[in-house]
Amino acid sequence: MAESTVQQQVRAFYDAVGWKQIGPGVYQNARYEDLRPVSRDYVHRCHVRFGEHLPRAGRLFLDAGSGPIQYPEYLEYSRRFRSRVCLDISRLALGEARQRVGEHGLFVIGDIARLPFQRDAFDGAASLHTIHHLPAGEQGRAFAELVRCLAPGGRVGVVYSWGDRAGIVRWARPALWLAESARRLLRTARRDARGDGATPGGETEALLRSPGSFTYKHDFAWAKANLRSLGVLRVVVWRSVSTAMLRGLIHPFFMGRLALRGLFALEILAPSFFGRHGAYSTILITKTGAGTPAPGGAHA
């Protein structure tokens, strides 16, 4: 698939489907998140923990692939910066972001792999769940572009998914398969008991079943080999379990909240282990030198 075609596909998905609201403040793209009460505290704490890795204050903060700023925790990342620059390829997303950020924000339509900003322009930056929407060959360039736009000493945090390459995702696959099979059997039994064979319908259900946009997810070895030269590299956990694992294995009647509290405590104790093997990592790169990224001093 040509790179220009990928970008067009992603933009079309988010303009027409991904950022379409299916409830007050809830977007169709929320199908990629577990919004149930049993998972809410864990997901919230993961959002907050990401912000703790970012620079605390400065002049300009770049939110690359900002989307509509769909979670309130995202607003905190730039609270003590003079301005937040939201960049996205979706005009619809930026319109929604403007409503949330207000006068604190500047809004730019652009490509994360070809940032339209000067070198050293930002003191801090973040990119959440965006780079994996680029073709494999463009992703390293996107990381380099983020670092290029950082001032020396600035840091960027990127939330990235290893996808099916993540160790924990592979290890949990048998349990998840059993849970999904049991749920399908239960749904079938309930439909048979009703005698109508009907399945839920409506616009919301149709949106949640619609195909997603293009993604390509590298593994940890790729990140370590390709990103170390950009600055001081550190890979820590963002969230060690996928949305499918949350929905399939965590339930309110089986100590779900307690299990997630325990998991979060383990992630705090071993952030690098869970960053390497978990479903989602936080890739941190701190820019070194006097305007030019320098190799060395990296650790992952």
- Tell me how far apart the alpha carbons of residues 34 and 42 are, in angstroms, rounded to a whole number: 10
Q: Mind listing the pLDDT tens digit for each residue in 98-122?
A: 999 999 999 999 999 999 999 999 9
The residue count for the chain = 300
Are 120 and 149 a contacting pair, CB within 8 Å?
yes
Q: Tell me the C-alpha to C-alpha distance, in Å, between residue 8 and each of 33, 129, 141, 145, 231.
A: 24, 17, 18, 20, 31
Mean pLDDT of the chain: 84
Alpha-carbon span 71 to 289, nearest angstrom: 34
pTM, full prediction = 0.82
CB proximity list for 142: less than 8 A, separation 6 or greater = 112, 113, 127, 131, 134
Model confidence pLDDT, tens digit, residues 59-82: 999 999 999 998 899 999 999 999
CATH 3.40.50.150 describes domain 35-166+214-286: yes
Break the chain into its structural domains and give their ranges.
35-166+214-286, 172-208
CB-count burial class (<10 Å; 0-12, 13-18, 19+) for 194:
exposed
pLDDT at residue 16, as a whole number:
46
Structure tokens at 6: 């990928």
Q: Is the pLDDT of residue 212 over 50?
A: yes
